[in-house]
Amino acid sequence: MPNQNDVRLQKFMAECGVASRRKCEQLIEEGRVKVNGHVAALGTKINPKKDIVTLRGKRIGRQESVRYIMLNKPRGFVTTVSDELGRKTVVDLLDGVKERVYPVGRLDRDSEGLLLMTNDGALANALTHPSYEITKTYRVTVRGKVEDEALQALREGVEIDSGKTAPCEVVPLVEETQRTVLEFKIHEGKNREIRKMLEHFGLEVIRLRRIAIAGVKLGMLKIGDYRDLNENELKKLFHACGMTYQPK
């Protein structure tokens, strides 16, 4: 009979800080997760007090402390916990962080700026779920001048390899002959979306930097540095996801 303490395996893994719930589901489907020595299937429920869960041979357990970190990601770092190609990862920048945190969403290797990292699987899952339409703000520098027709098309949505992009806000901040600085506010999380939108019009991206997520701003944090989020910032993130922040 089901036990009232039973929880879905992917939910338990996310709460332990392994990854977002969707990523945990992928790990289970790939056969990398075992429960009591047996390869687990998606849909498995466990009793955290009795069952032993392992990922690649290492036991998974709930973490005592929850961390919410803001990182100013530099270029040249991949947004993952580990990299099979041996490239530098964003985790390499977190000297002194004992908790096993992981990145919330993505920021490609050539981009920089605000990256949230946490071991709170529930919040990470909500922030990256399309249904919440979390607003992300970017400053993008492109080579040359951007015509008004292209600006309007960017706002309305353009066809890229993954389909038509959703309408977004695009505001020119600097318009010069040699370069244009644009501010994008988007609600999607498609891979390299802004770069592909601009490539559609033959525009070369010189710099792409994320400066805010759900009203939480990067501010003056230096490139490569990190800090813990404060209570007001956490309230903004939880509110954007329809959740109530409760200090842990």
Which listed residue (6, 83, 108, 110) is catalytic? Answer: 108
Helix (H) or strand (E) holding 226: strand 226-228
CA distances from 156 to 63, 140, 164, 196, 197 (A): 44, 18, 10, 15, 11
Q: Which residue has the tokens 């800080």?
A: 17
Coil, helix or strand for 216?
strand
| Residue 225 annotated in active site | no
> Residue type for 92, please?
D
Helix (H) or strand (E) holding 193: helix 193-199
Q: Contact at 8 Å (CB) between 71 and 115?
A: yes
Q: Contact at 8 Å (CB) between 79 and 107?
A: yes
Residues with a catalytic annotation lie at 108
